[in-house]
Structure 1
Amino acid sequence: MINKGLAVGLKQVTIIPATYLAIAISTTPAFAQANKFYNPISIPVGNEITDTLSDKDIPTGQGGFARDYMVKLKKGDNLAIDLVSESFDCMLTLLAPNGTTVAENDDGPDGTSNSLLFTRVAETGNYVIRVRSFGETGIGAFKLKVTRLQPAK
Structure 2
Amino acid sequence: MRSQAFVVSLKQIAFIPASLLAIGLSSTAAFAQVNKLYNPIPLPGSYEVSDTLSEKDIPTGQGGFARDYMVTLKKGDNLAVDLSSESFDSIVTLLAPDGTTVAENDDGPDGSSNSLLFTRITEPGTYIVRVRSFGETGVGGFKLKVTRLQPVK
TM-score for both structures, normalised by structure 1: 0.89
Deviation at 1:79, TM superposition (A): 0.3
C-alpha distance in structure 2 between counterparts of 1:103 and 1:14, whole Å: 52
Note the aligned Cα RMSD (angstroms). 2.0
Q: How does 1:1-153 map to 2 (within 5 A)?
A: 1-2=1-2, 12-44=12-44, 46-153=46-153
Q: Do the aligned residues in 2 keep the contact of 1:45 with 1:147 (CA within 8 Å)? A: no
C-alpha distance in structure 2 between counterparts of 1:139 and 1:6, whole Å: 66
Q: Which runs of 5+ in 1 are unaligned?
A: none
C-alpha distance in structure 1 between counterparts of 2:108 and 2:69, whole Å: 20
Deviation at 1:39, TM superposition (A): 1.5
C-alpha distance in structure 2 between counterparts of 1:60 and 1:128, whole Å: 16
C-alpha distance in structure 2 between counterparts of 1:101 and 1:2, whole Å: 63
Q: Do the aligned residues in 2 keep the contact of 1:87 with 1:142 (CA within 8 Å)? A: yes
C-alpha distance in structure 1 between counterparts of 2:65 and 2:9, whole Å: 52
Letter in 2 for 1:149: L
Letter in 2 for 1:133: S
Alignment CA distance shift 1:54-1:92 (3 Å): same
Deviation at 1:5, TM superposition (A): 8.7
Letter in 2 for 1:33: Q
Letter in 2 for 1:53: L
Deviation at 1:36, TM superposition (A): 2.0
Name segments (4+ residues, structure 1) moved above 4 Å. 3-12
Deviation at 1:152, TM superposition (A): 2.6
Q: What do residues 80-114 of structure 1 show as CA deviations (whole Å, max 9, x unaligned)?
A: 00000011110110000111110011111111111
SS of corresponding position for 1:61 = coil
C-alpha distance in structure 2 between counterparts of 1:64 and 1:11, whole Å: 54
C-alpha distance in structure 1 between counterparts of 2:16 and 2:60, whole Å: 38
Deviation at 1:66, TM superposition (A): 0.4
Q: Percent identity over the alignment?
A: 72
TM-score for both structures, normalised by structure 2: 0.89
C-alpha distance in structure 2 between counterparts of 1:100 and 1:9, whole Å: 50
C-alpha distance in structure 1 between counterparts of 2:24 and 2:6, whole Å: 28
Aligned length in residues: 153
